[in-house]
Amino acid sequence: MIDKPANPTRVLRRLRNVIAAGGGPVATGRYGLRLLRTEGPIGLWSRIARHVLGTPPVGATARPDRTRERNALTQALVTVSAADDPTVLDAAQLNFPAQSLPQVTVVVLARGPLRRTAESLTALQRVLAAGSASAKIVVVIAGEEDGRTQWLSSVGRVAVEGAGSDAELAAAFDRAIGRSPGKFVLLTSDVAQVQPGAIDSLISRLEGEPSAVASCAKSVMTDGSLVESGACWDREGNLRSLGEGDDATEPSYALSRRVPAASGTAVLLRREAIAASGGFAQASGVAHSPIDGLMRALWDQKKRIVFEPKALFVVSELLATPSGPLSAATARLAELGADRVAVDASDIRVLAFYLPQYHPIRENDEWWGKGFTEWTNVSKAKPNFKQHYQPHFPADLGYYDLRVSEVREAQAQLALDAGLAGFCYYYYWFSGHRLLERPLDEVLASGKPDFPFCICWANENWTRRWDGLDSSLLIGQSYSEDDEVALFLDWLPLLRDERYIRVDGKPIVLVYRISLLPQPRRAADTWRRLAREAGLGDLYLAYVQSFDSWARGETPAQFGFDASVEFPPHGCGVPFAGDVEQLSPTFRGALYDYSKTAEVCLAKSYPGYPMFRGVMPSWDNTARKQNTSHVFLGSTPEAYESWLDGALSYTHRFACGDERIVFVNAWNEWGEGNHLEPDMQYKHAYLDATRRAIARWTARPGQHV
């Protein structure tokens, strides 16, 4: 997918452009030293590789060929087949040991033929014999009797419960778990064959994580494709497996994570969690199945369910979601729009970064000239090559002024109609000196628009180069402990606002340049302490993966933060390998490939911590840097929609609850040619693309909570 490095001629041309854009060899050398200090060796090399050598970003790769890993997985699977070993059908060869106080009650739902039940129980017997867990086995037979009960009566120490129809399953499950006082209950199915060590891994996970009430296994097909890594409800209220059909060997599925729910393929539950939900019969009133009902009850109780990738089950065939009276009840709820669990669990909030630099301020008057706003640069941009889309002319809202409340309300309505769940305002604070504060202050004071928001502290220096470094400094940052306290107190009125966006009840705050904080963990501790003292409980802290954060391998834990936020094009730009027509001889910037950049970003694996995916509609900062701009070629509403769809898909599979968030960079970065707001060329096309993508993944496009 990624092109080979550019030829020497292009390397020299890029080097010439970099030096020219940097202000000459001496200035460029100083700039490199500053980058080394602020971004580290990896960050510096990542930029050299990208801007000079024309290679993909450091730390960003295309999806590799995983044929070898997949073959290794399939060869390691231990499966039982009656076709290969007819003795599997001999009930006499199955004999589970007697257990006075079994640790686990294993409930096997048998829907299929006798052969499948025999294969599943044989695999279970072998694994229990080799493992450390003690278990009581109960088989729940669903559907018409076909000789399975008689066959099971010959199996040593296996109890049997019957359910003539799906409507009777819940009561049968309750009777099954009442057969044994085991601390844990393993729910599985006759389509699944447990693999060595799986039950012990599920138990160890729950014993090591007291806050979790259930752990679900990694279920795969014999060809190495994934069946389940947890489950979630879709917008119609159906409980669906997460990651079904993906390659089970992908690194993302080798890491544990919290999941909304689990199916009955292979999930271990604490017995007390089932009891606290009233059992299967009480929980299944409006569900598709007893498992669905129990999972809905656990979701309502905000109970924690985790995916344990070390626990492996092999699935012989995929089963359709059962239909009947229970699913009909849920269908009626869906028709009425009342399936609250499906609405909540399937929701993904898409937030857009919001630039407030569309009104004059005293400082910009002094630095750039009277009346300067972001529009000043936008209107001056000129094309640098044939078919270069510049300048960008705003459509619906014109060259607006953010001091006008009607403009802010119109923006919110456009965003809401597109399915966005809120704005993330850049917050400019320099040791007590705020810039561009008026729009957000008026939003707070007026209560309008009634649209969710959060803030991102843009903690970089303001410079004439728009690079955040200390060259041509206009106003700089400082990072004392007193600054941290004063900054939080400045945030506090915003954090208290009922419109402020929260994650698990905690106000979310972003920090743009985490690498610039000399003591980020101290800052995080200070802000959390002050939040508790202010009665907020806690903060949810996320840092932006600005510049080459991803290449440096930074993680939230090392800073005392909760999550990171992808921020394209930072750290993921793929140089454009072709040529453009009639390139201006004065152009010293860089050209990038939009679609390949999107592919590189989406190829990132789940890192084992909350990483909010980011997308960008386009990028072209010619308005700010006419001859030294960075231009991403190939951006269209369709390409953007595909990228956003991929980010939403990732979020659906790897995020849970309030952490299901995607960021769009940006709502209104007109100076960077990067905006969802309508322009004269595309009109509402980017907003429409946003709405379509969100509608495919959430229950409520165009609504927010």
Model confidence over 522-549: pLDDT tens digits?
999 999 999 999 999 999 999 999 987 8
Tell me 585's DSSP state.
T
d(CA 2, CA 104): 50
Asked if residues 594 and 634 have their Cβ atoms less than 8 Å apart, the reply is yes
Q: Is the same domain home to 336 and 354?
A: no
Q: How confident is the model at residue 324 (pLDDT cuts 50, 70, 90)?
A: very low
Cα Rg for the chain, rounded, in angstroms? 29
Residue 581 counted as domain residue:
no
Longest dimension (CA), the chain: 93
363-406 residue pLDDT tens? 999 999 999 999 999 999 999 999 999 999 999 999 999 999 99
Average of per-residue pLDDT across 52-70? 70
* pLDDT for residue 49 is more than 70: no
User: Given this model, what pLDDT does residue 3 score?
Assistant: 44
Element (H, E) at 488: helix 481-496
Q: Lowest-confidence range among 31-40, 164-173, 302-311, 442-451?
A: 31-40
Residue 493 counted as domain residue:
yes
244-258 residue pLDDT tens? 999 999 999 999 999
Q: Where are the alpha helices (DSSP H) in 248-324?
A: 271-276, 279-283, 290-300
**Three-class DSSP category at 656:** coil
Tokens 């078919």 correspond to what residue? Answer: 387
* pLDDT for residue 555 is more than 60: yes
Q: How confident is the model at residue 7 (pLDDT cuts 50, 70, 90)?
A: low
Element (H, E) at 42: helix 25-48
* pLDDT for residue 487 is more than 90: yes
Q: Is the same domain home to 397 and 299?
A: no
Q: How confident is the model at residue 687 (pLDDT cuts 50, 70, 90)?
A: very high
Residue 5 counted as domain residue:
no
Tokens representing 175 are 């009777």
Average of per-residue pLDDT across 292-314? 96
Cα end-to-end distance, the chain, whole Å: 39
Residue 609 counted as domain residue:
yes
121-153 residue pLDDT tens? 999 999 999 999 999 999 999 987 778 899 999
Q: Is the same domain home to 317 and 353?
A: no
d(CA 135, CA 106): 7
User: Given this model, what pLDDT does residue 549 score?
Assistant: 81
Residues 6 or more apart whose CB falls under 8 angstroms from that of 348 comprise 648, 651, 652, 655, 660, 661, 662, 694, 697, 698
Q: Is the same domain home to 342 and 407?
A: no
User: Given this model, what pLDDT does residue 466 score?
Assistant: 54
Q: How confident is the model at residue 82 (pLDDT cuts 50, 70, 90)?
A: very high
Residues 6 or more apart whose CB falls under 8 angstroms from that of 227 comprise 219, 220, 221, 241, 244, 265, 315, 318
d(CA 60, CA 46): 10
User: Given this model, what pLDDT does residue 62 score?
Assistant: 58
Residue 74: domain span: 68-346
Residue 371 counted as domain residue:
no
d(CA 432, CA 107): 62
Asked if residues 127 and 195 have their Cβ atoms less than 8 Å apart, the reply is yes
Instruction: Say how many C-beta atoms besides its own lie within 10 A of residue 564's C-beta.
Output: 24
Q: Is the same domain home to 431 and 282?
A: no
Q: Lowest-confidence range among 22-26, 603-607, 682-686?
A: 22-26
Instruction: Say how many C-beta atoms besides its own lie within 10 A of residue 65's C-beta.
Output: 8
Tokens 């979310």 correspond to what residue? Answer: 508
Q: Is the same domain home to 310 and 407?
A: no
Establish whether the linkage from the previous residue to 637 is cis, with ω within 30° of 0: no
Q: Which of 346, 379, 413 is the last residue of a domain?
A: 346
**Three-class DSSP category at 307:** strand
User: Given this model, what pLDDT does residue 681 score?
Assistant: 97
Q: How confident is the model at residue 323 (pLDDT cuts 50, 70, 90)?
A: very low
Give 469 or 315, the one with higher predicted confidence. Answer: 315
Q: Which of 284, 311, 346 is the last residue of a domain?
A: 346
User: Given this model, what pLDDT does residue 9 score?
Assistant: 67
Q: Is the same domain home to 458 and 309?
A: no
Q: How confident is the model at residue 41 (pLDDT cuts 50, 70, 90)?
A: confident
Q: Is the same domain home to 214 and 171?
A: yes
d(CA 88, CA 93): 8
β-strand pairing of 630-633 with 661-664: unpaired
665-678 residue pLDDT tens? 999 999 999 999 99
Residue 220 counted as domain residue:
yes
Whole-model pTM over 0.75: yes
State the total domains in the chain. Answer: 2
Closest CA to 77 of 243, 225, 214: 225
CATH number assigned to the domain comprising residue 612 = 3.20.20.80
Tell me 320's DSSP state.
P
Average of per-residue pLDDT across 305-309? 98
Q: How confident is the model at residue 57 (pLDDT cuts 50, 70, 90)?
A: low
Give 58 or 584, the one with higher predicted confidence. Answer: 584
User: Given this model, what pLDDT does residue 196 score?
Assistant: 98
User: Given this model, what pLDDT does residue 16 score?
Assistant: 65
User: Given this model, what pLDDT does residue 653 score?
Assistant: 96
Asked if residues 549 and 46 have their Cβ atoms less than 8 Å apart, the reply is no
Tokens 């004063």 correspond to what residue? Answer: 486
Residues 6 or more apart whose CB falls under 8 angstroms from that of 683 comprise 395
The strand ranges marked E within 388-500 are 422-430, 433-435, 453-457, 462-463, 473-475
User: Given this model, what pLDDT does residue 642 score?
Assistant: 98
Mean pLDDT, the chain, as a whole number? Answer: 90
* pLDDT for residue 553 is more than 90: no
Q: How confident is the model at residue 239 (pLDDT cuts 50, 70, 90)?
A: very high
Q: How confident is the model at residue 236 (pLDDT cuts 50, 70, 90)?
A: confident
Average of per-residue pLDDT across 162-191? 92
* pLDDT for residue 277 is more than 60: yes
User: Given this model, what pLDDT does residue 251 score?
Assistant: 95
Tokens representing 78 are 């231990």
CATH number assigned to the domain comprising residue 182 = 3.90.550.10
Q: Is the same domain home to 299 and 356?
A: no
d(CA 310, CA 315): 16
Q: Is the same domain home to 279 and 182?
A: yes
User: Given this model, what pLDDT does residue 61 score?
Assistant: 56
User: Given this model, what pLDDT does residue 319 score?
Assistant: 60
Q: How many residues does the chain have?
A: 705
Residue 331 counted as domain residue:
yes
* pLDDT for residue 701 is more than 80: no
Give 313 or 284, the one with higher predicted confidence. Answer: 313
Q: How confident is the model at residue 47 (pLDDT cuts 50, 70, 90)?
A: low
* pLDDT for residue 34 is more than 70: no
Residue 33 counted as domain residue:
no
User: Given this model, what pLDDT does residue 39 score?
Assistant: 56
Q: Is the same domain home to 85 and 228?
A: yes
Q: Is the same domain home to 352 and 287?
A: no
d(CA 6, CA 47): 15
* pLDDT for residue 1 is more than 50: no
